[in-house]
Amino acid sequence: MNTDYKGYTIITAPERDDPSGLWNGRYRIMDDEGIVVYESFVEPLRDEDKAYEAANAAARAWIDGQ
């Protein structure tokens, strides 16, 4: 899902890790020109929705720290 936040675009998605069955919350942050400025994962979680929420929160925290 794409979200605009403080001049950046946040792209978040939960991805299932088949061997462990956990969800990796992946996030990518792009500037106003569409250039990726940061990309990472949050700690794997058992719940898909919680992985998505954690990735969104981590992305916003990164932006707030800039």
Count of domains observed in the chain? 1
Q: Are 59 and 29 in contact (CB under 8 A)?
A: yes
Write out pLDDT tens, residues 7-58: 999 999 999 988 889 999 999 999 999 999 999 999 999 999 999 999 999 9
* Those residues with Cβ within 8 angstroms of residue 59's Cβ, 6 or more apart along the chain or in another chain: 5, 10, 12, 27, 29, 38
The model's pTM is 0.90
The pLDDT value given to residue 17: 86
Domain boundaries, position 56: 2-65
Q: Are 8 and 61 in contact (CB under 8 A)?
A: no
Query: Can you say whether the dihedral through the CA atoms of 50, 52, 55, 59 is positive or negative?
Result: negative
